[in-house]
Structure formats: structure tokens, C-alpha cells
Amino acid sequence: MATPCNSGYTECAKFLAGEAADVFKYVAVGTGTGQGAAHTKLAAETEVAGMARVAADTCKTVKTTIDNDTHQLIEKFTAGAAVHIKEAGAFNNAVKDLGDMLMVGDLAPSADMAINDTLTITLQTQIKGA
């Protein structure tokens, strides 16, 4: 399960007010774990084996409770070598360790990948009232 990040909520509010222009459309994966709401980057973002941060294949809104109340990113990674992926996050910048993190989550189970294995990451953030 993904954890919403404080910096992501701040940037979403700024975006709604026209104070920020960076769209959350990038997905990153990593080999670390344990990041939470106060964190601004993955524990150990990876760029090896074809697993670097990338603009999501799909970036759109979908229905969770009402039409278009959920931001969804879907990215299919293909491993260029053996790698063990344990975490994923959504960002508003294409460069490793830069930008704001909208959400982060540890994979359960983690993904032991061999060369040419694929991993599809789906990240969703619902915008809703309390």
C-alpha cells in the first residue's frame, strides 16, 4: 500500500493555485524500504538494469468513488539485468533524487527480477474529502 507524502500534498495544493506547474507523471523504483509521509525521495532509487525513473506509460484520472477522483500512473519496467525491486514512488521530476514525491510504497512481495523480466507498477492517489 502506498503512503501519501507531505511534499506531494504541498505541491498539489500549489498546482491548484497556479503556483506550481510540475505534473506528477514520473515513476521510480528502488532497492530500499521504509519511506513514509515525511520523506522526499526513495530510500534507494535505482537507475540500473533499465529501471531508471521514467514518465509513466499511463497518466490519467480514474474513478474510485466518483468519476475522475483518483490520479493513476502505470509503468511497465523491463529488467536489463538481475535486480531486486522493493519500493516505488511517484514524482513530478524526471531526474533521480529531484522533484517532489507524491507517494511511496514498499512492494509486498518485493520483485526479484531476472534479465527481461517485466514489472508493472500502478500508483493511485485519491483526491477526496474526509
* Total domains in the fold of the chain: 1
Q: Specify the amino acid at residue 20.
A: A
Q: What is the pLDDT of residue 75?
A: 98
- What CA–CA distance (Å, rounded) separates 7 from 100? 6
Q: Specify the amino acid at residue 104.
A: V
> Mind listing the pLDDT tens digit of every residue in the chain (130 residues)?
689 999 998 998 998 899 988 999 999 999 999 999 999 999 999 998 889 999 999 999 999 999 999 999 999 999 999 999 999 999 999 999 999 999 999 999 999 999 999 999 999 999 876 6
Cβ proximity of 63 and 70 under 8 Å: yes
- What CA–CA distance (Å, rounded) separates 57 from 9? 23
Q: What is the pLDDT of residue 124?
A: 94
Structural domain that includes position 120? 3-126
pTM above 0.75, yes or no: yes
Give the containing element (helix H, strand E) for 71.
Answer: strand 70-78
Cβ proximity of 88 and 75 under 8 Å: no
- What CA–CA distance (Å, rounded) separates 28 from 113? 16
Cβ proximity of 91 and 43 under 8 Å: no
Q: What is the pLDDT of residue 32?
A: 95
Q: Specify the amino acid at residue 92.
A: N
